[in-house]
Chains A and B, each alone.
Chain A
């Protein structure tokens, strides 16, 4: 409760500042790099406060909900098994899903990329002479920029999820997978609703929600086409599962004559029995709820004799870079994702910079992995660096996707492709040249011990200048020891006696481990301090 009060106090005072961020071009996808956008977001105090407040609550509720269910690790493992099995046999289960969809009376379309998917949906809407489309939340529709495409045809598209409706009024993209308007204050929302025709509204949540209910109820009843995503497709019956809290998903799939579903091709589970696992993992991980208010399972359009429900069900299945992850041991598990947003809520980077700074449809750790994979190229190549590699995302993931490992693999991929800054390339070139030859290494270390002197205070460097300032201006860097380990080594061997010396020899013969190279790529691990797989660590252990 105190938390809510806090945000209310901050709200009106900071509204102007938050507004200016919304208008800032940096908040739009693609502008500048992730660092520039992060810097802009970090300057916005309200945004930081709001994001932290909500992610704290979501994280806390998730933990409570997981504890209440009990044996969370067993549920997680089962979730991982189901998703891994499905993706591993996606050709079979997607085929089964599509055949059963058709048997239930749905029309199925396949889209290789975002453009084709948007064109396909636009084509269906045109054929149905749709003028008004109501939408429930769908990340895939964001991915294919569907609203933009439909607007080109003069079709009115109305987002009906309360958060999506709010950000649609200011022409922004969602900044969180689950809470799209996480960055908006109630004062801003009141002003937006006033501009949309809501006169004399207070900033009370109840009043604001009531205005949205009145306005959107008319749209639901008047719409020609309803558009939804798909949380899960059940292969054994060709059923579409939707999880919503507001009821807009039910409205959109019940009232218009035509229902169009857009879905990623990997969103399949084999059987109804598996839905129980997903229903226990998804809402808990997303909002800490035991179950969302509505879980809807749709199997085909309405049947003979039914009055409400759509006449036609169209399902557009999207690849858009997903199939390229199949068969790749490093990245295939990214397709296990169930889009819960739990990794956002625990990510120290997301919690500081918010969703827009990622500049991609999918923010947070999952976005930093998914966006550069789905759109291979330099556009999102810097996102894998928006992470401290702490692994909190993996801990939070209900299907155990090793996101932090994938971030390292993506950085490796960037290096292999030469997508690195000239300074970084020069630094690693020098690293290789120096560390490959003992003589050069000794010479370099001797020089470094002399050069570091002006920067060292009590065995550490905290300098705001110098070549290491990217690290040392906010953290300490250990100074090189006066006498290097290699020079102390003969004396240490003598102290240990013959048995110890034999162990030392075998340890020295061990090749430099791959883990050490990875640590070097992270760029942060001081040599041998916390990395037992490195050569120095190996000698210590011996």
Chain B
């Protein structure tokens, strides 16, 4: 349908001769005020995040040093015994200096470029195939939300959306400074990027493992996304 007519019909029904072009005044924006004032101190934020993720069947651990986190990651991976691990590229994960820990496993780093002389189309299909065959995906994140136990990842060129989605297990490395009390804080920080043209093409709130209750309302885990979510939190 003609776009102008579509809008004119809406305006007419609302009693206006032409579509409204000035922003209407608002008296109630976002969450109720008492909720916007909700703020936990850092230690409680960390504890709340771990507890909420735990309730959903996820697993969270907190480490005081990078060396301790390395040890924790090694322990988790040895328990899982993956044949192949997929990793996001980019500086966020690199800062965790995982090379030595991961030396004993086969790893692929996003964007995987092992396809050789392939067309763009074929290269993309190859990358997706490789990561779909990984048992574990390791990512960093942009934020975490204590209230809901959510891990928040924004898409960018170094970070494939697929790394946190296709493998059976998702391990996220988080700095405690990234944990916010409420979702609204994250939303405000993302919205603030709008001015600089920096809206991510995709923003993913990941809250526990993939789940479904579609068969006789019986909860089952890992339907399409990861069946296990592990958050390793580094203080600082």
Contact = CB atoms under 8 A, between A and B. Distances in A.
Interface of A: 4, 7-8, 11, 50, 53-54, 57, 71, 74-75, 78, 81-82, 85, 88-92, 94-95, 98, 104, 108, 110-112, 116, 160-163, 166, 179-182, 184-186, 189, 205-206, 208-209, 212-213, 216-217, 220-221, 236-237, 239, 245-248, 250-251, 253-255, 265, 270-277, 279-280, 287, 290-309, 317, 319, 323-324, 326-327
B28 A78 contact: yes
Interface in B24-47: 24, 26-32, 34-35
Contact of B10 (A189, A236, A265, A303): A265
Interface in B205-235: 205-218, 220, 222-226
Given A189-B215, A217-B132, A300-B201, A246 B210 contact: yes
Contacts of B147: 290
Given A50-B216, A297-B203, A306-B155, A280 B31 contact: yes
A209 B194 contact: no
Given A8-B216, A272-B190, A291-B148, 11 more contacts: A74-B32, A91-B14, A179-B213, A186-B215, A209-B215, A237-B194, A246-B223, A272-B187, A294-B207, A299-B202, A303-B157
B212 A308 contact: no
Interface stretch (B1-9, B61-69, B76-84, B97-105): B1-9
B165 A221 contact: no
Interface residues of B, number: 81
B207 A293 contact: yes
10 contacts: A7-B217, A189-B215, A217-B132, A246-B223, A248-B224, A273-B30, A291-B183, A304-B157, A305-B157, A317-B6
Nearest to B182: A276
Most buried by A among B1, B127, B129, B212: B212
Given A111-B1, A309-B161, A326-B13, A7 B216 contact: yes
B95 interface: no
B106 interface: no
B156 interface: yes
Contacts of A308: 124, 127-128, 160-162
Interface stretch (B15-23, B136-144, B171-179): B15-23
B212 A299 contact: no
Most buried by B among A104, A163, A250, A301: A250
Contacts of B160: 307-308
Most buried by A among B3, B220, B223: B223
B199 A74 contact: no
A303 B16 CA distance: 38
B118 interface: no
A94 B223 contact: no
A94 B209 contact: no
Contacts of A220: 224
B163 to A, nearest CB: 9
A7 B217 CA distance: 10
Contacts of A279: 183
Contact of B210 (A11, A208, A293): A293
Contact of A277 (B31, B56, B110, B218): B31
A216 B199 contact: no
B24 A209 contact: no
A273 B189 CA distance: 10
A247 B224 contact: yes
Given A273-B31, A277-B30, A297-B203, A110 B3 contact: yes
B7 A91 contact: yes
Contact of A237 (B127, B182, B199, B224): B199
Nearest to A273: B30
A276 to B, nearest CB: 4
Contacts of A163: 212, 214
Most buried by A among B203, B208, B222, B224: B224
A71 B32 contact: yes
Contact of A95 (B19, B202, B205, B218): B19
A390 to B, nearest CB: 24
B29 A271 contact: yes
A251 B24 contact: no
A104 B194 CA distance: 11
A295 B201 contact: no
CB-based closest 9 A-B pairs: A247-B225, A273-B30, A305-B157, A163-B214, A326-B13, A272-B191, A295-B205, A247-B224, A276-B184
Contact of A254 (B148, B150, B162, B206): B162
A25 B129 CA distance: 43
B200 interface: yes
A293 B214 contact: no
Contact of B201 (A50, A85, A161, A306): A306
A162 B212 contact: yes
A270 B191 CA distance: 12
Given A250-B165, A319-B6, A209 B212 contact: yes
A320 to B, nearest CB: 11
A274 B188 CA distance: 10
Contacts of A295: 150, 204-205, 207
A91 B19 contact: yes
B95 to A, nearest CB: 20
B225 A293 contact: yes
B225 A246 contact: yes
B205 A296 contact: yes
A3 to B, nearest CB: 9
B86 interface: no
A160 B224 contact: yes
Contacts of A294: 204-207, 210, 225
A307 B111 contact: yes
Contacts of A50: 216
Contact of B29 (A4, A11, A273): A273
B215 A94 contact: no
Nearest to A313: B201
B11 interface: yes
B124 A307 contact: yes
B100 to A, nearest CB: 27
Nearest to A104: B199
B31 A78 contact: yes
A271 B35 CA distance: 17
Contacts of B148: 290-291
